[in-house]
C-alpha cells in the first residue's frame, strides 16, 4: 500500500514535470477548466465525494467487476431469453454466448435455416466482450477488461459490420502509453519512446532503423524460440528490461523465456512516430457497445437464448434433443473426468473506482505499468472511448492472477503438449457424439477477437462442408490463418 502511495506521489510530480498536467493539477483535455484529474482522487473537499449515491454506485461497480457479475441481474441486450432450456429439439445446441457461440448460431440460422439454443452459465450475452452502461456516470465499459477490435481481414470486417444500420462500428485508433522511467511514453516502442528514454534525438525512420539495428539481438536459431528472444530481437536488451521483462512476469507469472514467442510478438516496434497500438486496416469499436451488437447477432427466430445455465448440469436432459453440440468453453472443463489434469489459464482481478471528474483521470484510455513499482499491469479509463461525456470517470486496474475465470491460455510447450491430448479426446467426441469444440478456450489459443471470428467462420464451413458464406465471402472463400506470430492481427483484449 505504502509502495503504491509513494509511487502515486512520484508519478504526480513526474507528470507535472513532463507537461501532462495542467496548472490546476488536472490532466489536459477538452474540459480542462472542470477537470479534477489526479487531484480529484487525492482530494476530499468535493461534497459529492461523500454523497451516498456515489458511495453506493462505487461499491456496486467494485463488486460487479471484482466478482464478474452484471450490475443488473440478467443482461441479454434487450433480447428475449429464458433461464432454463425450453423442452424442444434443436438442430444445434451451443454452449457459450460469446463470440464463437453467438456467431455460429447466427450462421446456422441465416445460412442454413437451422434452429439452435445458445446457453451460457453467465447471466449475460457477449462472453468476455460484454459491456454495460454504469448507471451513475452513464459511461459504457467492459466488464472483463478493454476489448479493442482491429483486423486486416476483409471477411471478418464484412461480418462484424453486417448490422451497421442498427449497431454501427466506428473508427477508433487505440493508443497506449506506458509508465517508463518516470515518464509516460508510447507503447509499442516508437521514435518518441526511444528519445524519451535514452535522451537521443532520432528524427527519421532511417535513423530509427539504424538505432534499432544497433541494439537488436538476433534470435539464436533464426526463428525466435521464446518471448524473451522475440522481444530482444525487436527492441534489444534495455527496452526488453524496461517494457517486457517485468510486465510479462506480472501478467503470466512466468519469465518471458518460459513463454512462446507469439506472446511478445503481439507488440510490434515502430520506426516512426505512429503512436497507435495496432497497425491493422480496420480499427473500430461498436458505437452502441458490444452487448447491443451481440443482441443483433442473436436476434433471429431460429435462435433461443438461455442465460445463467450450467451446461454440465443440464447435459443429461439434452440427450437426444441436439442434432449437434458446439462447445465453446474450456476444453479441459469438458473432459474434467478424463484424469488428464488441468490446462493452465491466466485470469484477471479487476479493481474499479468511480470518482467525480468531468475530465479524465489519465491521458490515454490504457496506461501500462511495465515496472515493479506496482502490482497491477495496466489502468483502463473507459471514458476515453469515443470521448464519452460524464461528470464522473471510471478507472479499472488489472491484476493478473491464476484463479478465477479463464481469460488467457498460457502458450508454452508444456501446455501445448497437454492440449494435444485433449484434442484427441475432442476428435473422438466429434466422431461419436457430434460434439465440436470451437473458440479461444476450446482451442486453447491466444486468439484475438478477429482471429476468433475468422476461426468460427472457418469452422462453420468445415463442420457443414459448406463451400462459402455468400454474404461475407467471395465464391472461393477467403480463409486465412491468423493465429500464429502475426503482430498485426494477433492482439486481443488490448
**Contact residues for 243 (Cβ-Cβ < 8 A; gap 6+):** 178, 180, 187, 189, 231, 235, 267, 370
Long-range Cβ contact pairs of 67-72 (< 8 A, separation 24 or more): 68/122, 68/143, 68/144, 68/404, 68/405, 69/123, 70/123, 70/124, 70/130, 70/132, 70/143, 71/132, 71/134, 71/135, 72/132
Residue 36 CA to residue 243 CA, distance in Å, equals 29
Q: Which is nearer to ligand UDP, 473 or 492 (CB)?
A: 492
Burial 110-148 (b: 16+ CB within 10 A, else e): bbeebbbbbbbebbbbbbbbbbbebebbebbbbbbbbbb
Cell of 142: 467492459
Residues between 367 and 396 with contacts to ligand UDP, criterion CB under 6 A: 368, 370
The CA distance from 32 to 300, in Å, is 46
As a whole number of angstroms, the distance between CA 237 and CA 228 comes to 9
CB of 189 to ligand UDP, least distance (A): 9
Residue 493 contacts ligand UDP per CB under 6 A = yes
Q: How far apart are CA 198 and CA 188, in angstroms?
A: 16
* Stretch of 68-76, 239-247, 332-340, 468-476 lying at the interface with ligand UDP (CB under 6 A): 239-247
Distance in angstroms (rounded) separating the CA atoms of residues 320 and 457: 26
Which among 86-94, 263-271, 436-444, 458-466 is the span making contact with ligand UDP, rule CB under 6 A? Answer: 263-271
Judged by CB, which is closer to ligand UDP: 235, or 298?
235
Site for ligand UDP in 175-214 (CB under 6 A): 178, 187
Asked if 344 and 415 count as a contact pair (C-beta separation under 8 A), the reply is yes
Q: Write the burial class of residue 52 (CB in 10 Å: 0-12 exposed, 13-18 middle, 19+ buried).
A: exposed
From CA 380, how far away is CA 20, in angstroms rounded? 17
Least distance in Å: CB of 415 to ligand UDP? 15
Q: CA end-to-end span of the chain, whole Å?
A: 27
Shortest Å, Cβ 372 to ligand UDP: 13
Nearer to ligand UDP, 136 or 380 (CB): 380
Q: How far is the CB of 311 from ligand UDP (least distance, A)?
A: 26
Stretch that binds ligand UDP, among 31-39, 166-174, 243-251, 456-464 (CB under 6 A): 243-251
Distance CA 33, CA 358 (A): 9
Is residue 129 a contact point for ligand UDP (CB under 6 A)? Answer: no
Does 247 bind ligand UDP (CB under 6 A)? Our answer is yes
DSSP string, 124-184: BSSGGG-EEE-TTT--EEESSS---EEE--HHHHHHHGGGTTTS-EEE---BEEEEETTEE
- Contact with ligand UDP (CB under 6 A) among 40, 251, 412, 443: 251
Q: Exactly one of 61, 136, 243, 449 binds ligand UDP (CB under 6 A); which one?
A: 243
- Cell 471514458 belongs to 383
Report in angstroms how near the CB of residue 407 gets to ligand UDP at its nearest.
8
* Those residues with Cβ within 8 angstroms of residue 43's Cβ, 6 or more apart along the chain or in another chain: 36, 49
Would you count residue 264 as binding ligand UDP (CB under 6 A)? yes
Does the protein bind ligand UDP through residue 291 (CB under 6 A)?
A: no
Q: Is 365 in the site for ligand UDP (CB under 6 A)?
A: no
C-alpha cell at 96: 457459450
Closest distance of CB 263 from ligand UDP, Å: 5
Segment near ligand UDP (CB under 6 A); pick from 59-67, 89-97, 318-326, 485-493: 485-493
- Judged by CB under 6 A, which of 248, 395, 443, 478 binds ligand UDP? 248
Peptide bond into 188 cis (omega under 30): yes
CB of 386 to ligand UDP, least distance (A): 20
For ligand UDP, the closer CB: 109 or 284: 284
Choose one: 39-47, 166-174, 258-266, 388-396; the region binding ligand UDP (CB under 6 A): 258-266
Residue 494 makes contact with ligand UDP by CB under 6 A: yes
491 binds ligand UDP (CB under 6 A): yes
**Residue 81 or 408 with smaller CB distance to ligand UDP:** 408
144 contributes a contact to ligand UDP by CB under 6 A: no
Size of the site for ligand UDP (CB under 6 A): 17
Q: How far is the CB of 162 from ligand UDP (least distance, A)?
A: 26
Which of 242, 267, 284, 410 touches ligand UDP by CB under 6 A? 267
Task: In angstroms, give the least distance from the CB of 426 to ligand UDP.
Answer: 24
Chain residues in the site for ligand UDP (CB under 6 A): 178, 187, 243-244, 247-248, 251, 263-264, 266-267, 368, 370, 491-494
Amino acid at each position: 500500500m505504502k509502495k503504491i502511495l509513494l509511487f502515486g506521489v512520484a508519478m504526480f510530480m513526474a507528470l507535472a514535470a513532463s507537461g501532462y498536467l495542467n496548472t490546476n493539477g488536472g490532466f489536459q483535455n477538452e474540459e480542462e477548466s472542470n477537470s479534477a484529474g489526479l487531484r480529484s482522487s487525492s482530494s476530499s473537499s468535493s461534497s459529492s465525494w461523500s454523497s451516498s449515491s456515489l458511495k453506493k454506485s462505487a461499491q456496486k461497480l467494485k463488486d460487479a467487476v471484482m466478482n464478474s457479475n452484471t450490475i443488473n441481474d440478467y443482461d441479454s441486450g434487450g433480447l428475449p431469453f429464458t433461464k432454463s432450456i425450453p423442452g424442444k429439439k434443436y438442430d444445434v445446441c451451443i454452449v457459450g454466448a460469446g463470440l464463437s457461440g453467438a456467431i455460429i448460431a447466427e450462421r446456422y440460422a441465416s445460412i442454413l435455416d437451422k434452429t439452435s439454443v445458445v446457453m451460457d452459465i453467465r447471466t449475460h450475452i457477449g462472453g468476455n466482450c460484454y459491456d454495460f452502461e454504469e448507471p451513475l456516470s452513464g459511461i459504457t465499459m467492459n466488464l472483463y477488461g478493454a476489448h479493442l477490435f482491429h483486423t486486416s481481414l476483409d471477411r471478418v470486417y464484412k461480418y462484424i459490420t453486417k448490422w451497421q444500420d442498427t449497431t454501427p462500428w466506428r473508427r477508433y485508433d487505440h493508443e497506449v502509453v506506458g509508465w517508463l522511467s518516470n515518464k509516460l511514453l508510447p507503447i509499442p516502442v516508437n521514435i518518441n519512446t526511444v528519445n524519451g528514454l535514452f535522451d537521443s534525438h532520432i528524427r527519421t525512420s532511417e535513423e530509427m532503423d539504424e538505432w534499432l539495428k544497433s541494439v537488436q539481438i538476433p534470435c539464436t536459431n533464426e526463428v525466435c524460440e521464446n518471448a524473451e528472444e522475440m522481444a530482444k530481437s525487436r527492441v534489444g536488451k534495455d527496452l526488453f528490461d524496461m517494457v517486457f521483462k517485468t510486465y510479462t512476469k506480472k501478467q503470466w507469472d512466468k519469465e518471458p523465456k518460459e513463454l512462446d514467442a507469439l506472446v511478445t510478438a503481439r507488440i510490434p516496434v515502430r520506426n516512426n512516430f505512429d503512436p497507435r497500438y495496432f497497425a491493422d486496416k480496420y480499427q473500430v469499436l461498436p458505437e452502441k457497445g458490444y452487448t447491443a451488437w451481440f443482441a443483433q447477432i442473436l436476434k433471429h427466430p431460429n435462435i433461443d437464448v438461455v442465460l445463467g445455465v450450467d451446461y454440465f448440469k443440464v447435459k443429461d436432459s439434452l440427450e437426444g434433443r441436439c442434432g449437434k453440440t458446439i462447445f465453446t468453453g474450456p476444453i479441459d472443463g469438458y473432459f474434467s473426468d478424463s484424469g488428464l489434469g488441468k490446462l493452465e489459464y491466466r485470469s484477471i482481478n479487476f479493481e474499479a473506482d468511480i470518482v467525480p471528474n468531468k475530465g479524465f483521470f489519465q491521458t490515454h484510455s490504457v496506461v501500462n505499468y511495465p515496472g515493479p513499482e506496482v502490482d497491477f499491469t495496466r489502468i483502463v479509463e473507459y471514458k476515453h472511448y469515443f470521448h464519452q461525456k460524464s461528470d464522473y470517470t471510471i478507472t479499472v486496474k488489472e491484476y493478473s492472477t491464476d484463479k478465477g475465470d479463464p481469460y488467457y491460455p498460457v502458450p508454452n510447450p508444456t501446455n501445448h503438449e497437454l492440449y494435444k491430448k485433449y484434442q484427441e479426446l475432442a476428435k473422438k467426441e466429434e466422431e461419436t457424439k457430434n460434439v465440436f469444440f470451437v473458440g479461444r478456450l476450446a482451442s486453447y489459443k491466444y486468439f484475438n477477437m478477429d482471429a476468433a471470428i475468422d476461426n468460427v467462420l472457418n469452422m462453420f464451413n468445415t463442420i457443414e462442408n459448406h463451400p462459402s458464406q455468400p454474404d461475407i465471402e467471395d465464391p472461393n472463400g477467403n480463409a486465412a490463418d491468423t493465429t500464429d506470430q502475426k503482430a498485426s492481427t494477433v492482439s486481443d483484449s488490448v
